Amino acid sequence: MESLNFLDLFQGVNTLVQGFSTDPKIAFGRVFLIFLGILLLYLGRKGVLEALLMIPMGLGMATVNAGVMFFSAYDPATGMNIAAGQTQQLPGTLFVAPLAQDTNALVNILQIDWLQPIYTFMFSNGLIACLVFMGIGTLLDVGFVMARPFQSMILALFAELGTAVVFPIAVAMGLNPGQAAAVATIGGADGPMVLFTSLQLARDLFVPITVVAYLYLGLTYGGYPYLIKLMIPERLRALPMPVEKTRTITSNEKLVFAVIACVLLSLLFPVASPLLLSLFLGVVIRESDLPNFYELFSNTVLYGSTFFLGLLLGVLCEANTILNPVVLKLLVLGILALLISGIGGILGGYVMYYWSGKKYNPVIGIAGVSCVPTTAKVAQKSVGPGVIILPHALGANISGVITSAIFAATLIAFLLPMMQRG
């Protein structure tokens, strides 16, 4: 009987040990991502980062890079059968194979990888993004936008600065226009919109762009407060908002606004209509007094979709994917886009500050970055004690969702026909 190698019993350790001799970059990357995943989980648990995404994403990231095993029957990256008689063993996991394209191989993988059905039938076609948007829509009170439409949209437009600036930078760094547009939309801080745009314009980089986007969206909760402190002095952060005389906006008015906005934006930007319908359908459910639907979408659908989205993003952070050289560009461009958008939002806050005769708290500008409702909460937590800016921040936040959809749809409508002709 052939003696059994001790490491053969523990294939995760075996693949790691062999990796240090055959491909040290991937092996060190696996170790780094395991510890990074644990760190993200810890920071989510402590409330430093967004727990809803970071806890499942962090554990998924750590586990997928630990649970690498050897396959001798088929290539785990594509699902294709290895040639008969070939003795080469290929490392892979039992989680998901995002690169599978051959029909037979995909069906084979669907019977093996446990998260493959969610990836194939919900993630790679944007369905999970639409479900998240439906849930978000039920939580949005569009009355905040209707009460201050001018202020809210101005801040939201300024907060798209990252998308506008990073697009030409990405092209200059060697990405094609579709890839550049997809990574630039990270500046809109709207995860489902990034997912949808990358599916349309950069399918080859769909996985890393989406992973980078959601990884950084979680960091906005921990990073933007420092940007606010850096750009806005304490005396302005403590500026109280003047008392406003605003009339109560009825549910019927909100309902009419949602219907008109959905139809009009879909007429102008049909490429984004699935996400627009999902978002405003949630708003309509909220304002139509449908408690059963509201409970379903605001809790079960939203949190269920967010959980599996975070978990799937975590297991997509496999070292072979993340250590692709082009991903380094995406990491740099993604954080740059969110940084510039945050700066743009605060600049918009300063514009409103001077426009109002120095009565407007500029901290509200950060809420124009449409990470709903994270940036609105960041704005409220960053002001002085007793200062209430949340109603204004929520108006800018909801407007940010609309402007991110407009920017993404404009890029898709402009670039997609050019890419198809080319």
Q: What is the pLDDT of residues 177-236, one digit of tens each?
A: 999 999 999 999 888 899 989 989 998 888 899 988 888 887 777 889 999 999 999 999
Q: For residue 370, is pLDDT > 50?
A: yes
11: Cβ–Cβ under 8 A, 6 or more apart, which residues? 68, 69, 70
**H-run or E-run covering 384:** none
Q: Which of 83-92, 158-167, 397-406 has the lowest mean pLDDT?
A: 83-92
Measured CA to CA, the distance from residue 67 to residue 127 in angstroms comes to: 28
> What mean pLDDT do residues 376-390 have?
93
Burial (0-12, 13-18, 19+ Cβ within 10 Å), 422: exposed
Q: Are 343 and 231 a contacting pair, CB within 8 Å?
A: yes
**Cα angle 50, 396, 402; round to 5:** 90
From the list 336, 339, 364, the residue with the least C-alpha distance to 349 is 364
Q: Give me the percent of the chain exceeding a pLDDT of 90.
A: 67
Whether 83 shows a pLDDT value over 70: the answer reads no
* 103-106 CB contacts, 8 Å cutoff, 24+ apart: 105/74, 105/78, 105/79, 105/80, 105/81, 106/79
Mean pLDDT calculated for residue range 302-316: 94
Structure token pair of residue 113: 């990888």
Confidence grade of residue 1 (pLDDT, cut at 50, 70, 90): very low
Tokens of 283: 């708003």
Q: Minimum mean pLDDT among 73-87, 295-309, 320-334, 399-413: which range?
A: 73-87
In one-letter notation, the amino acid at residue 122 is M
Q: At residue 161, what are phi and psi to the nearest 5 degrees? A: -60, -35
pLDDT at 352 over 80: yes
User: What's the rounded Cα separation, in Å, for the pair 94 and 76?
Assistant: 8
Q: Residue 98 — left, alpha, or beta (φ > 0 → left; ψ -120 to 50 → alpha)?
A: alpha
Domain ranges of the chain: 6-114, 123-421
Residues 6+ apart with CB under 8 A from 57: 37, 40, 214, 215, 218, 310, 311, 313, 314, 317
